[in-house]
Structure 1
Amino acid sequence: MEIPGRDDDARPWIASYPEGIAWDAEIDTTPVHEQVLAACARTPAAVALDFLGGTTTFGELGRKIVAFAGALQSQFGVRKGTRVALMLPNTPFYPIAYYGVLRAGGIVVNCNPLYTVSELSHVVGDAGADLMVTLDLEQIFGKGEALLAAGLVKKLIVCHFPDALPPLKKLLFSLAKRKDLARPRKSPHAASLSAFDELIARGDAPDPVVIDPQSDVAVQQYTGGTTGIPKGALLTHANIAANMSQIDKWGCGLFYPPSKVVAALPFFHIFAMTVCMNVPLCNGTPVAMLPRFELKALLDLFGRTKANVLPAVPTLLNAMARAGSVTPARLASLEVAISGGAALPDEVRHAFGKKSGAILAEGYGLTEASPVVCCAALREPSKPMSIGLPLPATDIRFVDVDSGEPVGIGENGELQVKGPQVMAGYYEDEEATTAAFQDGWLRTGDVGHMDEDGYVFLVDRIKDLIICSGFNVYPRTIEEAAMAHEAVEEVNVIGVPDEYRGEAPIAFVKLKDGMSLTEAELKSFLAERINKIEMPRQVIFKDALPKTLIGKLSKKELREEYAQMKAGKS
């Protein structure tokens, strides 16, 4: 892959690539549903999915994908381009529905089951997804019913949660947790409901669908909305497949049997969709799922499956590092942990290293890039605090935040990306699509720099940048300094209006259990690590810091909380 005006001299990262990885390697853009069905045909007896001890073979997975695709076409009229919403936690139902929609020619619209009805209304309403696949757990099904009542979706396909469990757990659930189940047949909207298992049992054969990977959309993935209203990123079949191919090459065989990949992160999030599900399953590698992250369940999963690959977010790694129940022996099978979704604090990196000898590789991506752009080496140690190197076939540059002109090695600027994994644009939002690109380069909104060896280091988000008395203050700098204090477990810094300086940083801090710390003590500690302009105007201690639904610390909620605090005092 050549980009006009670029040569290997402009790609210093190539010289730092681990042995055996080529930047200009051929990228496979075969649609993901074709790849996974091929894997199902190759090793039908092998285990594909492990859910709380219940297993699904590749052969069974393939049969159900095809049957679901057939039902979508014959019973619901799903055709090329039809948008189908998935509101499912991690269960075997999710991959069956995901690949089934794609095989039928549809477009997957992922919906977070923990979203409010208002948030879900925006996603399904904006996408025009008349059909939704969901679960009969009361707390999730009720939201689907509300969307039906509002006319935002016309039909629901309902999966029966106990069917995902192994026999004994299914029996125990039916006895002890029956109240958690909804009763779809008694719903006032029963005529608009269909049972997932009954659709599979029909065994309908789907009609062929001709896919153009470069232009046909596979997934309409809504951005997290941490800085505004979520937008639907249009990810083509080629985008999804290209990023899988890039990650596969970067892994040097890591995502092939006998590896086992842990899916503690939710598939509806782009990171897990690609790294926890698509890449391993298309390679015939089993995926061990958790419906949500619980530390004991995760440790039990390691003990039972001996899984060796853990994609994670920093808060998950921090929880593992801090828990007394987590010992090196309980993580003995873990070879590689891949951190993404948010910046990995150095303190968390060191703390996790005391619990596991696994390689801890930090990666970086965004929804609009399907998602992975850069990653540390997965088979050997990488430069600390770096998000690694651009993946094969990926070009990056840094440009001045104000002028938009490229900056030199070591100079901070906005990270911009080109590559086959970059989205086609935002759904029906030409203005936002235009704003997302500069001269054909995807603008990430993240500030950082590249060193002389091509390693990438991020400083912060442009939108999180605090301008104090005309100087740039990066929250991450303050957060890293505060995390070095032995009493601090989590910290999140935001900028707030300041009459004298224009803006000032405010630090929200959660302390470790049993530890105490005053504002004065923390500021004294920080005084030796950051300059006076970076010093927080105020430190606010909290029992818990707000997080997004994948465990990423949320500045948006803190800004809203602080604004309410100020309004209450005025």
Structure 2
Amino acid sequence: MSELSDVHSGARPWHSKYPLQVKPSYDYPKSNIAKLLIDAETAYPNNEALDFLGRSYTYKELLRQCRKMANALKALPIAKGDRVAIMLPNCPQAVVSYYGALMAGAVVVQTNPTYTERELHFQLVDSGATVLVVLDLLMPRVVKAREKTAVRFVVVTSLADGLPFPKNLLYPIKRRKEHPDLKVDYNGEGVKRWSAFVGQGVAQAICEEVNAEEDLAMLQYTGGTTGRPKGVMLTHANLLANTRQVDAWCYRLEPGKERYLAALPMFHVFGLTVLLNQAIGRAGTLLLLPRFEPRMALETIRRRKPTVFPGAPTMYISLLDHPLAKDGDFASVRLCVSGAAPLPREVQERFELQTVGKLIEGYGLTEASPVTHCNPIWGFRKNGTIGLPLPDTDARIVGESGLEPLPPGEIGELAVRGPQIMKGYWNRPEETAEALREGWLRTGDIGTMDEEGYFTIIDRKKDIILAGGYNVYPREVEEVLFEHPAIKEASVAGVPDAYRGETVKAFVVVKIGWQVSEMQLDRWCRERLAAYKVPRSYEFRDSLPLSLIGKVLRRKLKEEEEENDLNLT
């Protein structure tokens, strides 16, 4: 826990803005994080843990499957500290693999199912994973990527393994039609079929004892936006602390009663904490979606009436603007926590009009398990900010070098520390020493803190556009574009310019049924922004490139722009 001796000195002004129900500091469990599931099953064995497109799993059934998985891994054998990679979308097998591996004492390596062969090979080699649990559709990539790695066993599953009858019988027919060339060699070296592998495991109670503050629960890889992805070492204590911090912030949610719409991918650290660990820790029901597809999400919302819906701004936009969306569809939702990208105020206001609950913005990063800040849900929030640091979390705005805090209102880099901050980067001591100083993590995000302790993120340090000697923050320009009634989505990036060195370009998606010209947008921006911040050009697109978590890939837009320039020359 953080020291609280200087609370009254004004060093942590945010504590005075906490709701009465939230304490500045808590005690955190020091156990294997898989105990979240064991404790939930003990208290609510017959409650529904998972719903996967109509198939339901109780906590008793889920724990039994996780124990079988853990014992099957032990029998391979997997020793404490060995790495188990999981390359699955949101499905029951992903949950079973995650908690099963943790119960066995393994370190989980969540692997993005969209990785190319090269990206997958790098992660497998870097992590030293010896087991990979993977979806059958991804096996062609795995067969090649596995070469010259430490992977000895590949456990292959299909979405059909988690589907209800008769979908489980119909899915293989659909798969053969869509992927006629797909063949999985179950006789290959170390390749095991999910049903046989988990089926042979015994359901004997198992949960490896750990030193929670030292032993790793996960290697969670960064997005690789600044060079090669790095394996972030998250301990059991890190993940338990962040789960408890978020739990304390969401104090009105009731154990055993909440239904979580799991549209965020759980292989991403945001979905892992605010969905998987959070829902299981509260003995709630996870409504699993294998991917975010608006029609499927709407059908699940109508069928199961979720009460909690963590997501990314693009998800809320897609649902609000979907032609099949009707008034009342989102009435059951009491709480939405938006992360992964800045939340436009217009989207926040529109979505809240459709629900009985709150849509609030939070902030986090992989190195912090990931949540560090959030706006009060049922207290005073400041729109446009990321809110207040969570309990036991210190935060400050610092200058280019050193860790001395800048005065309120000044722009600098956000630094954070707390029990959720990573142990370091896997096998990268120099980069660990550079990122962590005296327990503080420099985030690479530029922002400010006001007098009351509310923080605002202006932009990523690396995304700042230097146009003619002036700093332009893309998020500020994007907020202005989002306020225009015709704009559905917008992203702003710096592109090369012969005169200014770099200039501002806007990429926009227009709402269905609306029309707007470049001249109209230029006039709109000039009325609201200083001249040097106004985009010099606009590109109208049908969609923007998104990560699986719904974050606009600004880097991809810049790469496309650079490629176009090369083609023109």
Match for 2:532: what amino acid?
I
| Aligned mates of 1:184, 1:208 — CA distance in 2 | 37
| Aligned mates of 1:471, 1:6 — CA distance in 2 | 38
Deviation at 1:351, TM superposition (A): 2.7
Q: Is the 8 A contact 1:252 1:379 kept in 2?
A: no
Partner of 1:329: 328
3-state DSSP of counterpart to 1:36: helix
Partner of 1:531: 530
Q: How does 1:274-285 map to 2 (within 5 A)?
A: 274-285=273-284
| Aligned mates of 2:64, 2:451 — CA distance in 1 | 51
1:431 aligns with 2:407: no
1:411 aligns with 2:410: yes
1:241 aligns with 2:240: yes
Deviation at 1:27, TM superposition (A): 2.5
Deviation at 1:94, TM superposition (A): 0.7
3-state DSSP of counterpart to 1:167: coil
| Aligned mates of 1:512, 1:7 — CA distance in 2 | 47
| Aligned mates of 1:387, 1:505 — CA distance in 2 | 25
Partner of 1:258: 257
Between stretches 468-477 and 304-313, larger displacement belongs to 468-477
Partner of 1:520: 519
In the TM superposition, what whole-angstrom CA distance separates every residue of 1:475-523 from its partner, at most 9, and x where no partner exists?
Answer: 1111111111122221111123334333222212222223332222211
In the TM superposition, what whole-angstrom CA distance separates every residue of 1:516-556 from its partner, at most 9, and x where no partner exists?
Answer: 32222211110001101112222222222111121110111
Q: How does 1:429-508 map to 2 (within 5 A)?
A: 429-508=428-507
Question: Cα distance 1:261–1:208, how it changes in 2: closer, same or farther (>3 A)?
Answer: closer
Deviation at 1:447, TM superposition (A): 1.2
Partner of 1:98: 98
Partner of 1:20: 21
Q: How does 1:288-327 map to 2 (within 5 A)?
A: 288-327=287-326
Q: How does 1:16-415 map to 2 (within 5 A)?
A: 16-75=17-76, 77-136=77-136, 138=137, 140-149=138-147, 151=149, 153-180=151-178, 187=185, 190-204=188-202, 205=204, 209-254=208-253, 256-380=255-379, 382-401=381-400, 405-415=404-414
Between stretches 415-424 and 466-475, larger displacement belongs to 466-475
Match for 1:120: what amino acid?
L
Q: Is the 8 A contact 1:52 1:166 kept in 2?
A: yes
Q: Is the 8 A contact 1:86 1:134 kept in 2?
A: yes
| Aligned mates of 2:311, 2:335 — CA distance in 1 | 10
| Aligned mates of 1:272, 1:401 — CA distance in 2 | 32
Question: Cα distance 1:551–1:255, how it changes in 2: closer, same or farther (>3 A)?
Answer: farther
Partner of 1:10: 11
Question: Cα distance 1:375–1:87, how it changes in 2: closer, same or farther (>3 A)?
Answer: same
- Structure 2's unaligned 5+ residue stretches are none
| Aligned mates of 1:505, 1:439 — CA distance in 2 | 37
In the TM superposition, what whole-angstrom CA distance separates every residue of 1:91-140 from its partner, at most 9, and x where no partner exists?
Answer: 1001110011111111000111112112111211211112100122x2x2
In the TM superposition, what whole-angstrom CA distance separates every residue of 1:299-325 from its partner, at most 9, and x where no partner exists?
Answer: 221222121000000100111122232
Deviation at 1:182, TM superposition (A): 8.7
Deviation at 1:186, TM superposition (A): 5.4
Deviation at 1:350, TM superposition (A): 2.5
In the TM superposition, what whole-angstrom CA distance separates every residue of 1:442-476 from its partner, at most 9, and x where no partner exists?
Answer: 01111111222221111111111122233221011
Question: Cα distance 1:426–1:182, how it changes in 2: closer, same or farther (>3 A)?
Answer: farther
| Aligned mates of 1:38, 1:353 — CA distance in 2 | 34
Deviation at 1:246, TM superposition (A): 0.5
| Aligned mates of 1:201, 1:457 — CA distance in 2 | 50
Deviation at 1:41, TM superposition (A): 2.6
State the Cα RMSD in Å. Answer: 2.1
Q: Is the 8 A contact 1:264 1:290 kept in 2?
A: yes
Match for 1:12: what amino acid?
P
3-state DSSP of counterpart to 1:312: coil
| Aligned mates of 1:430, 1:568 — CA distance in 2 | 41
3-state DSSP of counterpart to 1:443: strand
Match for 1:489: what amino acid?
K
Q: Is the 8 A contact 1:312 1:339 kept in 2?
A: yes
| Aligned mates of 1:485, 1:183 — CA distance in 2 | 47
3-state DSSP of counterpart to 1:67: helix
3-state DSSP of counterpart to 1:533: helix
| Aligned mates of 1:7, 1:403 — CA distance in 2 | 22
Q: Is the 8 A contact 2:397 2:405 kept in 1?
A: yes
Q: Is the 8 A contact 2:65 2:96 kept in 1?
A: yes
Between stretches 232-241 and 489-498, larger displacement belongs to 489-498
Partner of 1:569: 568
In the TM superposition, what whole-angstrom CA distance separates every residue of 1:333-373 from its partner, at most 9, and x where no partner exists?
Answer: 11111101111112222232343342011110000000000
Q: Is the 8 A contact 1:327 1:355 kept in 2?
A: no
* TM-score computed with the length of structure 2 as normaliser: 0.95
Question: Cα distance 1:210–1:403, how it changes in 2: closer, same or farther (>3 A)?
Answer: closer
Q: Is the 8 A contact 2:217 2:235 kept in 1?
A: yes
In the TM superposition, what whole-angstrom CA distance separates every residue of 1:212-271 from its partner, at most 9, and x where no partner exists?
Answer: 000000010001123332111000010011100111111114162211111011110101
Q: Is the 8 A contact 1:134 1:141 kept in 2?
A: yes
Deviation at 1:207, TM superposition (A): 6.4
Deviation at 1:190, TM superposition (A): 2.2
Question: Cα distance 1:198–1:347, how it changes in 2: closer, same or farther (>3 A)?
Answer: same
3-state DSSP of counterpart to 1:266: coil
| Aligned mates of 2:206, 2:336 — CA distance in 1 | 40
Question: Cα distance 1:123–1:301, how it changes in 2: closer, same or farther (>3 A)?
Answer: same
| Aligned mates of 1:318, 1:533 — CA distance in 2 | 29
Match for 1:124: what amino acid?
L
3-state DSSP of counterpart to 1:10: coil
Question: Cα distance 1:186–1:476, how it changes in 2: closer, same or farther (>3 A)?
Answer: closer
Match for 2:152: what amino acid?
K
Q: Is the 8 A contact 2:128 2:149 kept in 1?
A: no
| Aligned mates of 1:340, 1:102 — CA distance in 2 | 26
3-state DSSP of counterpart to 1:361: strand
Q: Is the 8 A contact 2:186 2:192 kept in 1?
A: no
Match for 1:27: what amino acid?
Y
Q: Is the 8 A contact 1:101 1:108 kept in 2?
A: yes
Q: Is the 8 A contact 1:326 1:355 kept in 2?
A: no
Question: Cα distance 1:207–1:292, how it changes in 2: closer, same or farther (>3 A)?
Answer: closer
